[in-house]
Amino acid sequence: MNFLIVFILIPLLMLFALFATRNRKQVLAVMVTGSSALVLASIYLTVRYILLRNSGVAETMLFTSSYTWFEPLNIGFSLGVDAVSVTMLALSAIIVFTGTFVSWKIKPLTKEFFIWFCLLSLGVFGFFITTDLFTLFMFYEIALIPMYLLIGIWGSGRREYSAMKLTLMLMGAASLLIVGILGIYFSTGAVSMNLLDLKEIDIPLNLQLLFFTLTFVGFGVLGALFPFHTWSPDGHAAAPTAVSMLHAGVLMKLGGYGCFRVSIGLMPEATEILAPVFIVLTAIGVIYGALSAIHQTDLKYINAYSSVSHCNLVLFAILMLTRTAMTGAVLQMISHGLMTALFFALIGMIYERTHTRMITEMGGLMKVIPFLGVSFVIAGLASLGLPGLSGFAAEMTIFVGAFENADLFRRVLTIVAVSSIVVTAVYILRMVGKFLFGPMQNRKHLASIDAVWYEKLAVVILIAGIAYIGMFPLGLSNLISDSLAVIIK
Amino acid sequence: MENFSNFLYMREELSLVVLIVFLLLYDLIAGKRGMRYFQPAAIGLMALHTLINIIPRAEVSAFGGMYTYLPMAGVVKSILNLATLTVFLQAKELFSSSKQRQRRGEYYFLTLVTLLGMYFMVSSGHFLLFFIGIEMASIPLSTLVAMDKKCKKSAEAGAKYILLAAFSSGILLFGISYLYGTTGTLYFADMPPLISANALQIMGFVFFAAGLFFKLSFVPFHLWAGDVYEGAPTNVTSYLSVVSKGAAAFALVVLLFKVFGNLVVQWQGILYAIIILTITVGNLFAIRQENMKRFLAFSSISQAGYIALGMMGGTALGMNMLVYYLFVYLFSNLAAFGVVISIENKTGKLNISDYNGLYSTNPKLSVVMMLAMFSLGGIPPFAGFFSKFFIFSAAVEQGFYVLVLIAALNTVISLYYYLKVVKAMFINHSDNPIPTLRTDGYNRVSLILCTIGILVTGVVSLFVESISHFGFGVQ
């Protein structure tokens, strides 16, 4: 049996176990066991993957296997991973694990919350292990629908509006995708929907242009591609903490990953032609997201707009079509995943203590809750790209890689995108300065207690990840870069 | 003797006739005590009838081509049987009041007669038999629609239905007369070579198709649907939206492929416009509905548009996926109706806003309803996702990219209103939610059956694969 199936089996078992649980304690026990198992599985997979690569195995994908599912349509259930998916799986496992601890006290309907949370993670894991267009699309949609209920029931603020907006926009994107996917399969006379088989087929250029646009926009919406990003700030701001973490941390990466795997991986010629259009859009998105973040006073909105900026940078880097930039894109996906999850976790924790997310209503919290305050500063510094933390490693790689392109157009836009770092520094430092170090705004906040054990655990794991990538990026980037060799020379 | 053996080819029809006659006599003869077992007997025998006819036979033609048994029609009959059985299971409560109890016999009898008519629709080999089938399916239905004697809406719906059904039959017959006039035959098998796409034949076809489109409630022939669905007893509404629609859809696809193969360019053009209209208009109207029955009526109009996507390509794949879509649609739609019926019978509440906070009082019913909504909206891993994906593939295979894109974008609109119901049950709070209620045993069986159907028929590939053996393309 293929080891990758474990990543679907564990969430499935968790789902069944959750149905059987009777009280909160059992629910948490299932979640902790299950998510630890996922972390262990992803560690094992990473180690196995590295060992196999070191022993000289050179196939594009490892752990491949293919089962026939729907014979009349040649739909298979194909599995396979390369370095990009392995790192994404590890990221997802970490976020699911920490997300469980962050939602330790979720109320009401604890059981239902985790059932949907599990279904969401099932979609995410399934998406990263599969190499078949049909299952890719299926898991993408599985990951979307729980969001509606998670935000709608457990969210805050304008939750009903945000939940509906998010679901409908992402489903709209999915309807572009379905046409693109079916088009790729049927117009080329392919024998299966397996990505590895489809890669061997030359799709005629005029069709490539059509399908590239459909799939890139389709996946791009989830990756917050400007101007289709509007679901993201509202959705993230309204979602409960763990869901924001999983959504901004992992689900948005589904978009980048899909663009890279399907649009660019299958249709290289169309990419060359259409890239400039999307480069312009993503560059606007990078700057626009950062500038919008300056205007916000709600911590969650600041981070949500910052996510828009960072996720557009991922798409920007992918479109640069150099190996360095793409490696940077993957690094940025992981880095942003950890960082934004940390941000949302901390914001959730701070909100529980202060009952407000407005930076104008908070101040001087560093003294009251030093652990959370310091962690917040670390997350902020990672976000603005301080060397030694993950943001720097990722963004540096992206910009160096983007500048490798010799043409003026790309270089100018790279400079434009780089300038977002300055803007990022502005809003991060302003935010940190105001609500952590500024004058005390509300005496009631003095009574807040600092993080408790389960919160500390989640925060420490995420910070450790950020610091590891920041300080030792070489191993990871080599691993990713090798895997990208088949896509980009 | 030879002619009698021909009857054996009509095994499904025969066993259904036996069932009908038995129930009719039972209703006449049995006294008060005997009638207590009437519903169990009807349901049990219907289940038996479904089971013994479940395996499709080889293709056969009887009575000189008047009656044609296609294996795919066998599959469709099984689907119709299953749907009727589920509707029967949900009908227990309908006749629990003393006023309604005496009409129990008629309900089952009339429903089964329409089913027999639908059998003839899907396996006729001759336009007249087809016409008899369609009449047999429509006229008793109008009685069923008006079954709720005391309710004015029901009577109005019945009148509306019979008038429009008669009108559409007239149009259909008019079309048939043109076809007969230009080809000189009414046999399905003889007609195709004589159809050469001349103006009269196209006109005949258009009139004929319009008559069928009425049954399928394609836009712009849908105007009866909202009122009739709302006025009819809810069980009859669910029967109309699943069984009657399914039979008409399959009859249409068989006719298009077998008889009107030469007109493929023409009917593709017509269907192209009709599908876009049906899906979009159905969706847009469904958004505005507050009454659950009207809401499901318009949702089923737009679903009919998706069903028609399977016809577009004129391929075997399309027909397979159409039948598979019907199969999945049966479970999803009947699950939704099962919940509506259960709540209506106990509380009389039918508005979406009445469902606010349902999850807190009736978690199981809400979950079934949610699964039904997700399946109708095409959300994985529920069956509706697979059927929708497959029916889209069948259309894309023939290059209808724009059409599929429009249909796919429409799923977003449909998701909006399906989620509205989910939102009412799970997210909205209500000071006065529907009290916790006990669904009767039969209906519970039907809901369990539908839930299993929603969860299993998509993920397990067995169903779509076994259906895929029987399809055929334009001939």
Instruction: Give per-residue pLDDT as tens, B210-252.
Output: 988 988 889 888 888 888 998 898 889 999 999 999 999 999 9
pLDDT of A208 reads 87
pLDDT of B251 reads 92
pLDDT of A357 reads 83
Lowest model confidence (mean pLDDT) among A450-459, B20-29, B375-384? A450-459
Cα–Cα dist B391/B300, whole Å:
16
How many domains, in total, are found in chain A? 1
Q: Which domain holds residue A175?
A: 3-484
Q: Cβ(B264)–Cβ(B314) under 8 Å?
A: yes
Q: Cβ(A164)–Cβ(A216) under 8 Å?
A: no
Interface with B, mutate which of A139, A186, A188, A221 (most B CBs under 10 A): A186
Q: Which has the higher per-residue pLDDT, A195 or B466?
A: B466
pLDDT of B133 reads 92
Structure token pair of residue B137: 């399916």
Residue at B299 is within a domain: yes
Structure token pair of residue A451: 């993080």
Residue at A447 is within a domain: yes
> What band does B3 get if pLDDT is binned at 50, 70 and 90?
low
Residue at B472 is within a domain: no
For residue B288, how many other CB atoms are within 10 A of its CB? 10
> What band does B175 get if pLDDT is binned at 50, 70 and 90?
very high
Structure token pair of residue A396: 């540096």
Nearest to B408 among A72, A142, A175 (CB): A175
Residue at B149 is within a domain: yes
* pLDDT of B324 strictly over 80: yes
Q: Cβ(B377)–Cβ(B336) under 8 Å?
A: no
Residue at B296 is within a domain: yes
Q: Cβ(A60)–Cβ(A486) under 8 Å?
A: yes
Percent of chain B with pLDDT over 90: 45
Interface with A, mutate which of B328, B359, B393, B422 (most A CBs under 10 A): B393
Nearest to A172 among B393, B412, B464 (CB): B412
pLDDT of A383 reads 86
**ipTM metric:** 0.90
Question: What's the gap in Å between the CA of B459 and the closest CA on chain A?
Answer: 9
**Beta carbons of A70 and B404 less than 8 Å apart:** no
Instruction: Give per-residue pLDDT as tens, B43-92.
Output: 999 999 999 888 888 888 888 888 988 889 999 999 999 999 999 998 87
* pLDDT of B100 strictly over 60: yes
Q: Which domain holds residue B244?
A: 2-467
Structure token pair of residue A182: 């079916």
Percent of chain B with pLDDT over 70: 98
pLDDT of B326 reads 93
Cα–Cα dist B283/B410, whole Å:
7
Interface with A, mutate which of B309, B379, B404 (most A CBs under 10 A): B379
φ, ψ for residue B187 (rounded to 5)?
-75, 135
How many domains, in total, are found in chain B? 1
CB contacts < 8 A (A, B): 89
Residue at A263 is within a domain: yes
Residue at A62 is within a domain: yes
Residue at A171 is within a domain: yes
Question: Which residues of chain A neighbour B419 with C-beta distances below 8 Å?
Answer: 148, 164, 167
| Residue type at position A431 | M
Q: Which has the higher per-residue pLDDT, A3 or B117?
A: B117
> What band does B332 get if pLDDT is binned at 50, 70 and 90?
very high
State the DSSP string of B414-451: HHHHHHHHHHHHHT---SSPPPP-PPPHHHHHHHHHHH
B408 and A CB contact within 8 Å:
yes
Question: Which residues of chain B neighbour A142 with C-beta distances below 8 Å?
Answer: 380-381
Average pLDDT of chain B? 89
Which residues make Cβ contacts (< 8 Å) with residue B434, sequence separation at least 6?
Answer: B343, B347, B349, B354, B355, B358, B361, B362
Residue at A489 is within a domain: no
Question: What's the gap in Å between the CA of B412 and the closest CA on chain A?
Answer: 6
pLDDT of B36 reads 80
* pLDDT of B42 strictly over 60: yes
* pLDDT of B1 strictly over 60: no
pLDDT per 10-residue tile (average), chain A, 489 residues: 86 88 85 90 89 81 82 83 89 89 80 88 91 89 88 85 90 91 84 80 85 91 87 87 87 88 86 88 91 87 90 90 88 90 88 83 80 88 85 88 85 87 88 82 75 84 89 85 76
Q: What is the pTM of this model?
A: 0.93
Question: Which residues of chain B neighbour A160 with C-beta distances below 8 Å?
Answer: 423, 427
Nearest to B405 among A72, A134, A179 (CB): A179
Residue at A209 is within a domain: yes
- Segments in B240-290 forming alpha helices (H): 245-258, 264-288
B409 and A CB contact within 8 Å:
yes
Residue at B314 is within a domain: yes
For residue A132, what are the CA distances in angstroms to A69, A74, A129, A199, A223? 11, 11, 9, 12, 20
